[in-house]
A and B are shown apart, each in its own frame.
Chain A
Amino acid sequence: GEDVEQSLFLSVREGDSSVINCTYTDSSSTYLYWYKQEPGAGLQLLTYIFSNMDMKQDQRLTVLLNKKDKHLSLRIADTQTGDSAIYFCAERDDYKLSFGAGTTVTVRA
């Protein structure tokens, strides 16, 4: 599959904003996704963005897409302890997804 890259770790203080970054390589991707994985669980879809959009906001989540630079970010406002998890970005090509390695977000008090 195509390469999707993310930084592996992010530590953030409770109440601050978290920003998780992702780069992808396939310019034909139609949709880009953010999934969350809590310990011992499967992946839960957080949000997704269509490739012709620049931004999508959903409550505390904001997704920004820079298609020219092939850069995707997820901002979590007012980060809470329940946001501690692994976050995966994924790009969709036809009906297949390519995932990044995941960013482990640790929220400290």
Chain B
Amino acid sequence: DVKVTQSSRYLVKRTGEKVFLECVQDMDHENMFWYRQDPGLGLRLIYFSYDVKMKEKGDIPEGYSVSREKKERFSLILESASTNQTSMYLCASSLKQGTQPQHFGDGTRLSIL
């Protein structure tokens, strides 16, 4: 089975801090994704990566950046955290092509105080 692991289930940070959310997958997937989930809005794509060192903006990239130095690891960075970034963050991975769907981690619930 595919395993997508997010480093923290819960995280509390202060406004202005630089925050790192880490995600690791163990199935050699090319694609990795970061979403945020808010009630009534579903999942919105922040950034995705289709290869090492490659990244593309999703629908809501403002205030975020990403890093993919190794194939199995995809990091989401909040450069200067703000209260409106309090949310559930979900990481996913998938094979590049074919019928294989995205597989999700358990999420990180981030609170910015």
Contact = CB atoms under 8 A, between A and B. Distances in A.
A106 to B, nearest CB: 15
* Residue from the set A8, A33, A92, A95 with the largest chain B CB neighbour count within 10 Å: A95
B41 A101 contact: yes
Contacts of B62: none
A44 B18 CA distance: 30
A99 B104 contact: no
What secondary structure prevails in chain A residues at the interface with B?
A: strand
Interface in B60-113: 90, 92, 94, 96-97, 99, 101-107
- Chain B interface size band reads 20 to 34
A82 interface: no
Nearest to A50: B99
B104 A1 contact: no
